[in-house]
Amino acid sequence: MSQGSLIVISGASGVGKSTVIAKVLESCADVYFSVSCTTRPPRAGEVDGVNYHFINRVEFEERIQRGEFLEYAQYVGNYYGTSRKIVEEQLDRGIDVILDIEVQGAAQVKDNWPEARTIFIVPPSFEELAHRLRARKTDSEEKIAGRLQRAREEYREIPRYDYIVINDELEKAAEELRAVLIAERCRTIKRIALIEGV
Ligand code: 5GP
């Protein structure tokens, strides 16, 4: 059995990454979404262990020291990180793993796993992004301004990504993400062991 694919998704906060990912998880078997650890407090409706593992800074820093993160970064004043053990276990079982992480973390993953595929999800426009962040009603104007500023900075990293998905219509964005997952599964390196006589 070949290893699963590591699919890294970045994109501004509020662009709808989680919704696109949820849509794909509903319709694709053998795909695992990696639940990150964060020191950010939960937003209304977020559930510990489902959206994130919510931990405090001391615990996060201990986990950094123990090398438990595949990657981690600070984003608008909080730590976010991906558990190395869980991701590696899933990949070894042939399961594809999706990470929803910001650009510094994505760069760390690409350095350590060159075969990872990176996807940047963009909104149709910045105005639309600002509108979606306000509509969410979860962050103060100051936090929203911070997230928009960060989004502009992150756009500079787009040329490093393998794919761009435009989240204008949810169905279409989900289909594009599914297409990347499927294409990865068809790669010769993943399938050659199944073919007799090669
Ligand atoms: P939010 O606070 O809106 O849930 O997430 C803020 C940013 O942190 C998003 O861009 C999200 O992709 C990113 N993020 C979530 N989990 C991780 C992680 O484990 N590592 C890194 N580097 N970024 C993450």
Residue 48 DSSP label: B
Q: Summarize pLDDT for 70-126 with one digit per residue, the tens.
A: 999 999 899 999 999 999 999 999 999 999 999 999 999 999 999 999 999 999 888
The reported pTM is 0.92
- 78 CA to centre of ligand 1 in angstroms: 9
pLDDT score, position 58: 98
Q: How far is the CA of 132 from the CAs of 15, 61, 78, 123, 171, in angstroms?
A: 7, 32, 21, 10, 17
CB atoms < 10 A from the CB of 93, how many? Answer: 12
Cα separation, 89 vs 98, in Å, equals: 13
pLDDT score, position 14: 83
Residue 71's DSSP bridge partners are 82
Nearest Cα residue to atom 22 of ligand 1: 105
Cα separation, 69 vs 161, in Å, equals: 22
Alpha helices in 48-192 (DSSP H): 57-65, 84-92, 103-112, 126-136, 141-155, 170-185, 188-191
Q: Which of 100, 140, 152 to mutate to test the pocket of ligand 1 (most atoms within 8 A of CB)?
A: 100
- 3 CA to centre of ligand 1 in angstroms: 25
CB atoms < 10 A from the CB of 133, how many? Answer: 23
Mean pLDDT of the chain: 94
Q: Summarize pLDDT for 139-175 with one digit per residue, the tens.
A: 888 888 888 888 889 999 999 999 999 999 999 999 9
What letter represents residue 127's amino acid? E
pLDDT score, position 183: 96
Q: Is the pLDDT of residue 3 over 80?
A: yes
What percent of the chain stands above pLDDT 70? 100
CA quadruple 53, 121, 151, 110: dihedral positive or negative? positive
Cα separation, 167 vs 26, in Å, equals: 18
